[in-house]
Amino acid sequence: MIEIRDLRKIYRMHNRTQVVLDKVNLDIQMGQKLALMGRNGAGKSTLIRLIGKVEVPTSGTVKHKMRVSWPLGFTGAFQGSLSGIDNMRFVSRIYRTDFVKLRNFVEEFAELGEHLYKPVKTYSSGMRARLAFALSIAIDFDCYLIDEVILVGDYRFHERCRSYLFDQKAGRTLIIASHDAGLLTDVCDSALVLNQGQAISYSNVADAANSYQSL
């Protein structure tokens, strides 16, 4: 389970404050497929980052009782002066994962070839996202955090990402932030609609989609 209690996130910019999330409370169960819906700026990606603990809440708590991925495709933890291979080695040590198996999977999935042996700071943003995405799904998490902005690359790579997440990882908890109501209705079994800092839970994703589209 993931327990979210009284979660607030406030950004301070140019002498003003913006309340992105205001006292959000939520329980996410093992195996649940949760859709995050909302307009641009509603807080979907912010909530993903807070659940993944790559961002700190203004107040409130996020507690993990399952193994949760970082947001898929998140590149902020890479050491730019190290090669892709060396970054993989570092990740394998942190998560106590067999390095050879991890490297073989990432080499095949990310399709970066010789670039894996070059410093990550020389990568394009798309290459960094491919590496981060492949690393994320190479590790056996109970819950995967998915923001549609990381489904990068050409159509073939995009479809491989979707197939791996929604078919091969079908038994895992998925938290998906997306504007694609059709995809969310097909994949998810529950939803959270974010609007003006508030979060409303739905057990029916189609109902949530109708509410989101009326905002």
Is 28 a member of any domain? no
Q: Are 83 and 119 in contact (CB under 8 A)?
A: yes
Q: Which residue, 215, 200, 155, is CA-closest to 35?
A: 200
pLDDT tier at 103, thresholds 50, 70, 90: very high
Residue 204 has which token pair? 């029916």
Is 165 a member of any domain? no
Q: Are 180 and 161 in contact (CB under 8 A)?
A: no
CA distance 17 to 213: 27
Report, as an integer, the average pLDDT of 134-161: 78
Is 118 a member of any domain? yes
With pLDDT > 90 as the criterion, what percentage of the chain qualifies? 57
CA distance 33 to 138: 20
Residue 97 has which token pair? 């994962």
Kindly report the average pLDDT of the chain as a whole number: 89
Domain that holds residue 83: 70-140
Given a cut of 60, whether residue 151 has pLDDT beyond it is no
Count of domains forming the chain: 1
Q: Which of the pair, 39 or 150, is modelled with greater confidence?
A: 39
pLDDT tier at 198, thresholds 50, 70, 90: very high
pLDDT tier at 152, thresholds 50, 70, 90: low
Report, as an integer, the average pLDDT of 67-95: 86
Report, as an integer, the average pLDDT of 100-127: 92
CA distance 140 to 104: 15
Phi, psi at 150, each rounded to 5°: -95, -5
CA distance 112 to 4: 37
Is 93 a member of any domain? yes
pLDDT tier at 169, thresholds 50, 70, 90: confident
Q: Are 31 and 25 in contact (CB under 8 A)?
A: no
Q: Which of the pair, 27 or 184, is modelled with greater confidence?
A: 27
At residue 153, the pLDDT reads: 60
Is 170 a member of any domain? no
CA distance 168 to 183: 17
